């Protein structure tokens, strides 16, 4: 068996193991995003995707969760920054701020398609519990390129550390696109035949992209990189391209892992799916009951009716002239019992509220302070809100936003997006750069540093009134630096610790010199006064 056949067989094994999962995902998307419910069969363009639904409330709450997750990456302001732990070098901190801005500009370049890919990935993450995104460069390396892939077409396995190790992706690509992407010299002769005049350049071929550890690839070409990236023409069992990768181009964030599996599930959907099914059935029943109440079915005496029943507004139904209505009305409406309608509407509202809670929408809604609420009571509510929100967004930030940011940094660094390596400050070389993300919880914590500083300074003043030596306890310079960073000051707005210390030493020396000069002038004046006194 060739190495290509071996890789195809490994991928087929991974895809076959999760067939039942595709059925579950299809059911989930049919309830919450029917336009993308094509895990088993393809949707037809122009089809009424939500034609079998009776209420759109499940779709709306699912959309609200996706929007709330996307709000963790606000396009209008920085949502991440680079940092190195225990870094005290001012030049290094300035470079990290500059690199954060440079990376953000590259990500939000329109050609990179970051917003489109991230939005689609949010949808997959919130409903299926995972998403698949690739972070690469355009073929001409003019910009980054982000793409979100259908979960149906990607299968993977984990390593011993629980991280994604092998990724197999199914692709369909036309002969023309294959020639444009890889070059005609790399594609199979049968593909090149489609490019000839009079042939079909849009004929599609089945491809497979495989990213595996170096020691799992048994091809002739050897690489020193940790991973190997292979493109395979499955129809012709032809190796198109093989490259080495230091880090996987695939970013696969997962919400809640299924125990014993490399796949995950959405806790929101796990709680919401039964309620969504119930709400659809309940709404259908209420619609039928409401329709019967507004337009009740009619009872007609068969012998008395001369024409077809006309139940439209202004319609006329003819009855026999000799019919005696003392024996009963020839045409009358059926009495409908409406007593159950209020209970049905109440149950429907309860189900809608449970759906909103299942999708964590109550966790994203900040508390509102009323006039009767004390500051202490509101602070307790706010602390609870921050704690609950943090438990939800922190895993998302670490796995989703963190994976995208780290992979983007690696791609930019490898392709010279941050300039030559010599321009990086010495204090950062060899250090592990981490990403810190802006979120409501983190913003509140950092902004609270300013208030903590003010409250602490007030305490120090009160203590110094009792004991002046209390003023030696706080490190006012470092405390102020932390508070200024917390309220949003950039490193470039502050002097380095060395410059600040030098200026403080210079001011102290200048003050000492001025004091000495003052003492000398006072001594000279005293000597003059004494000499005058002696002369008299």
Q: What is the mean pLDDT of residues 141-167?
A: 93
Three-class SS of residue 202?
Answer: coil
Of 358-362, 453-457, 491-495, give the range with the top mean pLDDT: 358-362
Which of 147-156, 161-170, 292-301, 407-416 is predicted least confidently? 292-301
Q: Is the pLDDT of residue 306 over 70?
A: no
Report CA dihedral (16, 18, 19, 25) to the nearest 10 degrees.
-150
Pick from 175, 217, 181, 214: nearest CA to 196: 175
What pLDDT score was predicted for residue 421? 83
> Hey, how many other C-beta atoms are within 10 angstroms of the C-beta on 254?
22
- Residue 100 or 441, more confident: 100
- Find tokens 């049905």 and name the residue: 344
Structure-block tokens of residue 71: 């709000």
pLDDT tens, residue by residue, 218-256 = 887 788 889 999 999 999 999 999 999 988 999 999 999
Burial 101-117 (b: 16+ CB within 10 A, else e): eebbebbeeeebebeeb
Find the helix or strand (DSSP H, E) in which 211 lies. strand 204-213
What pLDDT score was predicted for residue 456? 78
What pLDDT score was predicted for residue 445? 58
What pLDDT score was predicted for residue 67? 92
Distance CA 446, CA 468 (A): 30
pLDDT tens, residue by residue, 473-485 = 888 777 777 777 7
Share of the chain above pLDDT 70, in %: 83
Concatenated DSSP letters of 35-87: GG--SSSPPPTT--TTTT-S--HHHHHHHHHHHHHHTTS-TTS--EEEE-TT-
What pLDDT score was predicted for residue 91? 87
Give the pLDDT band of residue 467 (cuts 50, 70, 90): confident
pLDDT tens, residue by residue, 18-75 = 989 999 999 999 999 999 999 988 777 777 777 788 899 999 999 999 999 988 888 7
Q: How confident is the prediction for the chain on average, in pLDDT? A: 84
What pLDDT score was predicted for residue 86? 79
pTM (2 d.p.): 0.78
What pLDDT score was predicted for residue 309? 62
Quick check: 293 and 323 in contact, CB under 8 A? no
Q: What is the mean pLDDT of residues 266-292?
A: 88
């Amino acid at each position: 068996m060739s190495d290509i056949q071996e890789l195809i067989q490994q991928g087929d094994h991974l895809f076959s193991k999760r067939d039942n999962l595709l059925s579950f995902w299809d059911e989930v998307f049919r309830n919450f995003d029917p336009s993308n419910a094509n895990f088993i069969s393809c949707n037809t363009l122009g089809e009424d995707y939500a034609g079998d639904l009776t209420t759109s409330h499940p779709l709306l709450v699912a959309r609200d969760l996706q929007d709330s997750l996307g709000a963790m990456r606000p396009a209008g302001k920085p949502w991440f920054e680079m940092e190195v732990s225990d870094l005290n070098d001012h030049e290094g901190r300035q470079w990290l701020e500059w690199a954060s801005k440079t990376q953000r500009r590259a990500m939000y370049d329109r050609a990179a398609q970051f917003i489109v890919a991230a939005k689609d990935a949010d949808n997959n993450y919130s409903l299926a519990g995972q998403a698949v995104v690739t972070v690469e460069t355009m073929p001409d390396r003019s910009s980054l390129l982000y793409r979100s892939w259908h979960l149906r077409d990607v299968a993977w396995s984990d390593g011993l550390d629980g991280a994604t190790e092998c990724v197999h992706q199914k692709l369909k690509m036309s002969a023309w696109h294959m020639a444009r992407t890889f070059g005609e010299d790399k594609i199979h002769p049968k593909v090149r035949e489609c490019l000839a005049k009079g042939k079909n350049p849009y004929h599609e071929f089945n491809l497979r992209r495989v990213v595996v550890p170096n020691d799992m690839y048994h091809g002739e070409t050897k690489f020193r990189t940790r991973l190997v990236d292979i493109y395979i023409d499955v129809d012709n069992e032809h190796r198109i391209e093989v490259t080495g990768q230091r880090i996987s181009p695939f970013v696969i964030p997962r919400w809640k892992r299924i125990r014993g599996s490399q796949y995950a599930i959405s806790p929101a959907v796990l709680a919401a799916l039964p309620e969504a099914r119930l709400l659809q059935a309940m709404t259908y029943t209420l619609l039928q009951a409401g329709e019967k109440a507004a337009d009740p079915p009619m009872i007609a005496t068969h012998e008395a009716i001369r024409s077809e029943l006309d139940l439209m507004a202004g319609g006329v139904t003819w009855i026999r002239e000799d019919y005696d209505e003392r024996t009963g009305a020839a045409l009358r409406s059926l009495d409908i019992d409406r007593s159950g309608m209020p209970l049905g509407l109440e149950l429907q509202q309860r189900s809608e509220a449970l759906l909103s809670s299942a999708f964590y929408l109550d966790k994203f809604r900040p508390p509102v302070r009323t006039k009767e609420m004390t500051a202490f009571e509101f602070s307790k509510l706010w602390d609870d809100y921050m704690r609950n929100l943090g438990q939800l967004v922190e895993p998302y930030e670490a796995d989703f936003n963190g994976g995208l940011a780290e992979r983007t940094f690696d791609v930019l660094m490898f392709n010279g997006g941050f300039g030559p390596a010599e321009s990086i400050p010495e204090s950062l070389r060899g250090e592990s750069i981490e990403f810190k993300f802006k979120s409501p919880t983190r913003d509140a914590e950092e902004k609270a540093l300013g208030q903590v500083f003010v409250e602490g300074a007030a305490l120090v003043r009160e203590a110094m009134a009792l004991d002046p030596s209390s003023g030696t306890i706080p490190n006012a310079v470092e405390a102020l630096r932390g508070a200024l960073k917390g309220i949003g000051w950039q490193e470039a707005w502050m002097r380095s610790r060395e410059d600040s210390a030098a200026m403080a030493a210079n001011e102290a020396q200048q003050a000492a010199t001025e004091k000495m000069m003052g003492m000398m002038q006072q001594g000279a004046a005293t000597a003059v006064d004494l000499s005058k006194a002696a002369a008299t």
